[in-house]
Structure 1
Amino acid sequence: MFHLIEKTILGMAFLRMFSGSLEIFVALMFIKYNDIEKALVINSSLALVGPIILLLTTTIGLVGMAEKISITKIIWVFGGVACIIYGVKSN
């Protein structure tokens, strides 16, 4: 009757809920301050959080699958994530 949720899934979900809540909080701060310069500063600091959450969530997921996936595939996944972050952040 009861369905147990894996700790890995809970960790990944918590990080995503934290990230989403932070995004909503920042949007409310934009409205509160009503200043473009402050909004840009807040937004720039938030831009650091996204890639960190992505890496942490991916790491938790891969650690949870460590016994099911080879080390080579884990390296490929992290390489792909690194390419995504590089592509998004490069000028």
Structure 2
Amino acid sequence: MKTWFLSIEAALLAMVGLRFLSGLIEISAATIMLKLNSVEKAVAINAMLAIIGPTIFISSILIGLTGLSDRLSVGKFLFIGAGVVLILIGLRK
């Protein structure tokens, strides 16, 4: 078991950690919404989540790209970057 864990790349562990953190934040927010029992407060909590989600997404992508930096060409990085930008534009509109 120890050998398996040591064979996992650091970038992958960081990305997984961010996703677990994101999931924990989402579940915590849902629990708080239920406890507060108020639509107005739930909307405010949702607004905070709207900031956290894209931040986790961008951080995770950046960590992944850093981990792939020695294996990808500049052209592929540009395509990936353009894809991320298009996703963020699509989320805004």
- C-alpha distance after superposition, 1:3-25 (max 9, x if no partner): 22111111000000000000000
Instruction: Report the count of equivalent residues.
Output: 90
In structure 1, the residue corresponding to 2:42 is in which secondary structure?
helix
> Secondary structure of 1:69's partner?
coil
- Which runs of 4 or more aligned residues in structure 1 lie more than 3 Å from their structure 2 counterparts after TM superposition? none
Equivalences for residues 39-78 of structure 1 within 5 A: 39-78=42-81
Secondary structure of residue in 2 paired with 1:12: helix
Residue ranges of structure 1 left out of the alignment (5+ in a row)? none
Q: Deviations over 1:26-61 (max 9, x none)?
A: 000100110000000110110111111111111111
Instruction: Give the TM-score, by structure 2 length.
Output: 0.90
For normalisation by structure 1, the TM-score amounts to: 0.92
Give, as a single letter, the amino acid of the residue that structure 2 aligns with 1:20: G
**Where does residue 91 of structure 2 map in the other structure?**
88
Task: Return the offset for 1:86.
Answer: 1.1
